[in-house]
Amino acid sequence: MENDKNSQKIVDYIQNFSRKHSLFVLAYGTGCGAIEIPATMTSRYDAERFGIRGAATPRQADVLLITGYLSTKTLKRVIRVYEQMQEPKYVIGFGSCTINGGMYYDSYNTINGLDQYLPVDVYINGCMPRPESVISGFVKLQELIQDGKANNGEKYRENLEHYRTNQKKIIKNWKMPDYNW
């Protein structure tokens, strides 16, 4: 590490180091999984020693934690919240409902997989995942940030047409602002 580095590499290393140790999670309980988040943040499983704490508004948050299934009504609000967050931003899919629909695979109101509508960095499986699994999901996200592989905000911006086609197929009354920044 000490032999071949130019100044760009040190800057990247320090930038990723400080980003991974201060992750602010948006306070939005979208589904069932939100019942294990207070347990993760308080005294026994203490996620704050990793630098994880809650944020109140999307403009102040880094991580969007989709805890569980998403109905079509919530998906519209989640997209709006995601587009209000500023880069770099990360999405964690929590629970098996975000992976393939879970036990609500035949419901007319829940989506069957999150990947088509929003870019996802890490999936945590389980129903319901234990607090230790949640922390190990965050540790995996930290490794991705350190290696420079977690830039899905750019991916969303570049492939906006693809995501919009998928989203408009589900959400019929599209009255949302443009995403042009």
Chain residues 120-179 in contact with other proteins, contact rule CB under 8 A: 127-128, 130, 166, 169-173
Q: Which is nearer to other proteins, 99 or 176 (CB)?
A: 99
Q: Which is nearer to other proteins, 102 or 145 (CB)?
A: 102
By CB under 8 A, tell whether 17 contacts other proteins: no
Nearest-approach distance from CB 14 to other proteins, in angstroms: 32
Q: Which is nearer to other proteins, 14 or 170 (CB)?
A: 170
CA distances from 48 to 66, 91, 124, 154 (A): 19, 19, 19, 28
Nearest-approach distance from CB 171 to other proteins, in angstroms: 8
Q: Say which DSSP state 114 is in.
A: G
Q: Which is nearer to other proteins, 10 or 103 (CB)?
A: 103
Local structure of 65: helix, strand or coil:
strand
Nearest-approach distance from CB 112 to other proteins, in angstroms: 4
The residue type at 64:
L
Pairing of strands 90-94, 23-26: unpaired
Report d(CA 26, CA 145) in Å as an integer: 18
Nearest-approach distance from CB 116 to other proteins, in angstroms: 5
CA distances from 5 to 8, 85, 163 (A): 8, 33, 38
Local structure of 73: helix, strand or coil:
helix
Q: Which is nearer to other proteins, 44 or 49 (CB)?
A: 44
Tokens of 29: 């309980």
- Residue 146 CB burial class (10 angstroms; 0-12, 13-18, ≥19): middle
What x/- string results for residues 52 through 91 when contact with other proteins is judged by CB under 8 A? Answer: --x-x-x----------x-xxxx--x---x----------
Binding positions for other proteins, rule: CB under 8 A = 26-32, 34-36, 38-39, 42-44, 54, 56, 58, 69, 71-74, 77, 81, 99-101, 103-113, 116, 127-128, 130, 166, 169-173
